Amino acid sequence: MNTQTHKIWDDSLKRLIRANPQHFVSWLLEGAVFQNWASSELKNRTLEADAMLGVVLNGQEMYLHIEFQSKEDISMAQRLLEYNVLATRTLKRPVLSCVLYLRKSNNTAEPPLIWVLPDGLEILSFRFVVTKLWEVSVIELMETGLAGLLPLVPLAKDGGSHEVIDAMAKKIVEARQTELLPLAKLFAGLVLTKEADRHWLERIFAMYNDILEESWVYQEILEKGMAQGLEKGRREELRAEMRRLRAALLAIVQKSYPALLQPVEVVSEKISDPEVLQNLLVKIALAANRQEVQEILAQIPETSKGQTTTN
């Protein structure tokens, strides 16, 4: 799974929990009541939990820590332990860590994590909760009565069929949880990868277009997508401009100072600022001789020669 796809999974699941936090609390920690969101940033390290929910269980405050895992990670159990210890120290309350596996894997963390010395002395036993979605049946998810879990149906056991996904969408609408439709469609699309399946998915959700477009989740995804699209467009324009300027610069050098073509090319490739590159082009075009060109190259500030990514 590439980085972009992995981010889609993570961002979408965070939105899903944010839409119905109590539903996830009830599913993973029976009897607990959602109270608030805790900061997911953990002190002393550059770590950020996927979700940290403040809950009340048996009249006492604690936290439910949820991590989503969509790819193999042999260090998952130790990573959960690290999160748990830092969260407990930061929040000063008991913390239960859960990992929600999204895609089938043969290498999943299994509780408890136990550390034993060579002489057999157990020095640590860390318990956490593991949920493997591919082992959770569609019926089990649907019969929880927790509508917030419905978008996960495509990831459940036998959840990738057309009939199941159609039924999931209808149940979301019946539960008046229409803000979940964009996420349900997104998860279904990540499972249904064949072109024919994608066309079918578009047809099924087309009847909900008006609802989708009014959803805050849809608007959030759309705005993020537009921002990414604009940023991508700006990068493409910058790349095109840099290519044009380099081509013009090298054409001038090739004609007037062919012996300097290689050093000019090396310098130009290290320039990431189009304004600096344009100024270099103009100066070399107006140079009187080869020595002046060499002096111009030597005068380019090192701060303008950062390795460019615009090629």
Domain ranges of the chain: 1-135, 138-214, 241-304
- For 230, the enclosing helix (H) or strand (E) is helix 216-256
Q: Are 114 and 122 in contact (CB under 8 A)?
A: yes
Of the ranges 115-124, 142-151, 261-270, 275-284, which one carries the lowest mean pLDDT score? Answer: 275-284
11 token code pair = 């961002």
Q: How confident is the model at residue 25 (pLDDT cuts 50, 70, 90)?
A: very high
Is the CA virtual torsion 214, 216, 221, 227 positive or negative?
A: positive
pLDDT of residue 108: 92
pLDDT of residue 170: 92
- Residue 158 scores a pLDDT above 60: yes
Instruction: State how far the Cα of 13 lies from the Cα of 98, in Å rounded to an integer.
Output: 14
181 token code pair = 């439709």
pLDDT of residue 67: 93
With tokens 């981010």, the residue in question is 7
- For 268, the enclosing helix (H) or strand (E) is helix 261-269
Q: Is the pTM of this model over 0.75?
A: no
- Residue 123 scores a pLDDT above 90: yes
Instruction: State how far the Cα of 256 lies from the Cα of 253, in Å rounded to an integer.
Output: 5
What are the tens digits of pLDDT across the range 62-82? 999 999 988 778 899 999 999
Q: Are 214 and 179 in contact (CB under 8 A)?
A: no
Instruction: State how far the Cα of 272 lies from the Cα of 259, in Å rounded to an integer.
Output: 24
> Within 10 Å of residue 164's Cβ, how many Cβ atoms?
18
